[in-house]
A and B are shown apart, each in its own frame.
Chain A
Amino acid sequence: MNTEFIILSSVLNILIVLLLSPLFDGFTRKIRALIQSRVGPPLLQSYYDLLKLMGKEDLKSTINPLFRLSPYLSVVSIGMASLLIPITGLVPPLNFWGDIFLFIYIITVVGIAIIITASASENPFAYIGASRKMMLHLSVEPILAIALITGAINAGSFKIGDIVSWYYSNGPNVSMLLSTVCVFLSLQALIGKIPFDISEAEQEIAEGVLIELSGPKYACVKWANMSRQVLFCLVFTQIFIPWPLSENSLINVIIALIKVTAIIFISTLIESLNPRLRIDQALKYNLTLALFSLTSIFLALLGV
């Protein structure tokens, strides 16, 4: 592993996850519009939205320092997490023992940052939104963690790079197949889109966690949400479906982009063809899935 590769793939990863995410968001908006018999906004609309919000006045509804910092924290954390995903090859730019724990930790921080922002804003709707988001995170993130640990047991290593390399060369066994399916089924909840956008539910609690945000902070949280969608789709496509792969890093990037676009397309279909669930119904779904995914760990320990 050379320094040149690390720099190149770091730059590419951040570019895809942070800078291309509004483009993917514009893509979902266009798809949604087509399904709903509308024309829809231009493909680059999400960039315009972010730019506009960046220039808006920043209204401070509270003096709580947590409220000021956590929106930026969420964007930075996503950027960090993107460095732990292999896009250019089988190995991510940051590759060290135990990086799956760092990864799980960082993606939790993204959610926590938004929950902190909401709780610090002293708005009843934001409180409800924060408590709903907390419950959703607690119920859905274990599924991803269990799936990663299943991979780690199979590969015998706590490095994401090793897990992907093992999966790529050995092909799926029963336990990996099970966790892949579980991650796919929890993807919508991980991204926080309908039917799982319960913490933001515009018509119920008026955007909930986002209600008190404005200007650059709102832009950051929006941006973090868009990037989170790309990040989790990449987690699914790069770690749980690592095929096909070529020798050339740039071709690998193109393959990854195509795969992510396909997954985002499926997720948009689900989003526009379903109503929102109630929090108790969503929790029931997630917990059933979590119990189901636990079996994959036992299967991995048994070696199948």
Chain B
Amino acid sequence: MTKVKKIIENISDKIETIDENLIVYSKPSQIKDVAKLLVMQGARFVHLTANDFISQKNFIELNYFFSLIDDRINIIVKIPLEKEELSISSISEVVPAVIWAERECNDLFGVNFEGHPDPRRLVLPDDWPQGVHPLRKDFFYSSRPPESKQPPPLKKPEEGKTVIPIGPFYPALEEPAYFRLIVEGEEIVDFDYRGFYVHRGIEKLAESALNYQQIPFLAERICGICGFVHSSAYCQAVEKAANIEIPLRAKFIRSLFLELERLHSHLLWVGLAAHIVGFDTLFMQAWRIREPVMYICEIITGNRKTYGINIVGGVTIDIHEQHLKEIEKIISQIEKEVRELREIIIDDEVIQLRFKNVGILKHEDAKKYCVSGPVARASGINIDMRVNFPYAAYPILNIRVPLNKSEDVWARTIVRLEEILVSISIIKQILESIPEGPTSVKVSKIEPWKEAISYIEAPRGQLFHYVMTGPDGRPYRWSVRAPSYQNYQALSVMLKGASIADAPLIIGSIDPCFSCTERYEVIDLKTKSLNFYTVEELKKCSKAK
């Protein structure tokens, strides 16, 4: 840590060390040099977000998050931007992975990034008026700005090349997203993406209407598959910021559900990948194997999704002795079936014809775009938050990180299949060594203006949550970066040169999770009730628009 500190000292105003975080204060003009130095030291870009302090101190503070995996340090580069001059040079030349994050900051905070290669809108809809930035504190969370008509900013194909639209609604995609493949014959030469159709402003809602204990229920609804990772990451961040130590049993319960979630998410992916290449038998069998995991979740929590477990300070439920026995029985059965499934996939030559040498993401590119999770591990990058920044019960557990170096869709499949088995072994360890004790602690007042970062190894990769505590009993800033957010940006590399037939498979191979990436929400939390619309009401709504 001292080495990095010494190097950065020259170009920063002030350096602080809080726990594992190294906070670097710098000037807007120096950001490129700081980024260059950090990248040279092997730092990995994680996220970029902003904090609006206009009403208090008349500036917006940019936070660049980097991490040094080997030293287990987070580096937060803080740069204040005066309200009158919200402009800074883009660091996308040094760190290509920043491209989406800079576009998002531009949309939501109105920060201009000079020299950005692709300054189009990312998050805001096309009919959103210019100059209205929803994450600024002077924007009221439920206000509706007037619509303004603008042409959608789409890439134009060069002459002689055609556009194949995949989306916004497409049979192989479960959620809306618009992939535009620019093709010559059957070969893809360029790629354009427009997503965020389901962006619902979860961060804004949390920052302006909910309190600390309500947000976990919002956070777990960010994703339809891996919701538990979001509530865990949020709770961990708040606990870190407020210095709350949760009981060991609660940590084990969190780890247990995180692994159960990875188990069913990976089996879901295996099924979907098989479905994309038309192998429906494998699809059905993978989902049949997955089903008992959902049963366990239902037995323990009352619903197939693991909703309502996490709160700040621990977990709301306890696991009974007979549940542990039930889990052990089901897990052994799943292990047997997954081993059979793996044999079938590895021995199938036609699957290999479709999966091998497809969607190659070279080791260097994977590093450049800071991808994470199985996509990174299939390109030979040894990164796993459970090992690099251990949380919950993972410091005590024994974890193996499966790696593969063949960089293609096949490698991603093998890595995910291995990870299922690793998860099973972790669950077995948890069942053996889960300690007795309370499951939560009482949380008293949380000090304002403390900040914390929390990582979770979600099924799709590194999940990042950042919380700055606020004075009104809720976070002042809560920022979420889902793993798919980074993995998406590497898609253009994987798709270039591929054939149209492989495009859905390549897109599927990063296991894209639109709702995570776009942080959406469908339940009206203000009235705390599910709203049911009749057909007539829906018609009225659609006509009113």
Of A36, A197, A275, which one neighbours B354 at CB under 8 angstroms? Answer: A275
Interface assignment of B73: CB less than 8 Å from any CB of chain A: no
Q: Taking the complex as formed, is A277 at the interface, i.e. its CB lies under 8 A from any CB of chain B?
A: yes
A146 lies within 8 A of chain B by Cβ: no
Q: Are A275 and B500 in contact (CB under 8 A)?
A: no
Given contacts A195-B350, A206-B171, A277-B354, contact A124 B281 (CB under 8 A): no
Write the chain B residue with the least CB distance to A194: B278
Q: Is A3 an interface residue (CB 8 A)?
A: no
Are the C-beta atoms of B284 and A36 separated by less than 8 Å? yes
| A203 CB contacts on chain B under 8 angstroms | 171-172, 275-278, 504
Partner of A198, one of B275, B280, B351, B501: B501
Contact with B along A173-210 (1 / 0, CB 8 A): 00000000000000000000011011001111111000
Contact between chains at B277 and A206 (CB < 8 Å): no
Q: Which residues of A contact B499 (CB under 8 A)?
A: 278-280
Q: Which of B281, B353, B354 contacts A35 (CB 8 A)?
A: B281
Counting chain B residues whose Cβ lies within 8 A of the other chain, the interface size class is 20 to 34
Tell whether B523 is near chain A: CB-to-CB under 8 Å. no
Measured between beta carbons, the chain A residues less than 8 angstroms from B162 are 124
Residues facing B in A249-302 (CB within 8 A) are 272-281
A43 close to chain B: CB less than 8 A: no
A197 to B277, CA, bound (A): 11
**Does B274 touch A at the CB level, under 8 Å?**
yes
Set of chain B residues within 8 Å of A201, measured between Cβ atoms: 278, 501
Question: Across the interface, which residues of A come within 8 angstroms of B288, CB to CB?
Answer: 37
Asked if B279 is an interface residue, CB under 8 A from chain A, the answer is: yes
Within 8 A of A (CB), among B488-533: 499-504
Whether B279 lies near A274 (C-beta < 8 A) is: yes
B354 to A278, Cβ gap below 8 A? yes
A37 to B499, CA, bound (A): 33
Chain A contacts of B502 at CB under 8 A? 278
A274→B282 CA distance, assembly (Å):
9
Closest chain A residue, CB of each to CB of B289:
A37
Task: Name the one of A38, A124, A276, A281 contacting B164, with C-beta atoms under 8 angstroms.
Answer: A124
Contact B274–A275 (Cβ < 8 Å): yes
Q: Are A278 and B350 in contact (CB under 8 A)?
A: no
Given contacts A275-B351, A275-B354, A277-B354, contact A204 B504 (CB under 8 A): yes
Interface string of B132-169 (1 = CB under 8 A from A): 00000000000000000000000000000011110000
Indicate whether A128 reaches chain B with its CB closer than 8 angstroms: yes
Which residues of chain B come closer than 8 Å to A273, judged between CB atoms? 281
A195 (CB) vs chain B CBs: closest residue: B350
Chain A residues in 8 Å Cβ range of B280? 32, 36, 272
User: Smallest distance from the beta carbon of B29 to chain A beta carbons, Å?
Assistant: 48
Answer yes or no: B170 CB below 8 A from chain A CBs. yes
B501 A204 Cβ-Cβ under 8 A: yes
Contact of A279 among B165, B284, B501 (CB under 8 A): B501
Minimum CB distance partner of B352 in chain A: A275
User: B472 at interface (Cβ–Cβ under 8 A)?
Assistant: no
Contacting residue for B501 out of A32, A206, A272, A278, CB 8 A: A278
Q: How far in angstroms is the closest Cβ of chain A from B353?
A: 6
Determine the chain A residues whose CB is within 8 A of the CB of B500 once the complex forms. 128, 204-205
- In the assembled complex, B285 has its CB within 8 A of some CB on chain A: yes
CB distance from A267 to the nearest CB of B (A): 14
The CA of A282 and the CA of B273, in the complex, are separated in Å by: 20
Distance between Cα atoms of A84 and B114 in the complex (Å): 73
CB distance from A201 to the nearest CB of B (A): 7
Across the interface, A36 reaches (CB within 8 A) one of B285, B501, B503, namely B285
Chain B positions 281 through 318: 1 when the CB is less than 8 Å from some CB of chain A, otherwise 0: 11111001000000000000000000000000000000
Contact B165 A206 (CB under 8 A): no
Q: How far is the CB of A262 from chain B (nearest CB, A)?
A: 20
CB pair A277 B353 closer than 8 Å: yes
A276 with B277: in contact, given A203-B171, A206-B171 (CB under 8 Å)?
A: yes
What 0/1 readout, one digit per residue, does chain B (304-336) give for beta carbons within 8 Å of chain A?
Answer: 000000000000000000000000000000000
Pairwise interchain contact A279-B186, C-beta atoms closer than 8 A? yes
Nearest CB of chain A from residue B168's CB, rounded to whole Å: 13
Query: Which residues in B have some Cβ–Cβ distance to A below 8 Å?
Result: 162-165, 170-172, 186, 274-285, 288, 348, 350-351, 353-354, 499-504
Q: Which residues of A contact B (CB under 8 A)?
A: 32, 35-38, 124-125, 128, 194-195, 197-198, 201-207, 272-281
Given A275-B351, A278-B501, 14 further pairs, Cβ under 8 A: A36-B283, A37-B284, A124-B162, A124-B163, A201-B278, A204-B276, A205-B500, A206-B170, A272-B280, A273-B281, A275-B354, A278-B353, A279-B186, A280-B499
Q: List 11 A-B contacts (CB under 8 A).
A: A36-B284, A124-B162, A124-B165, A195-B350, A201-B278, A204-B276, A274-B350, A275-B278, A275-B279, A275-B354, A277-B350
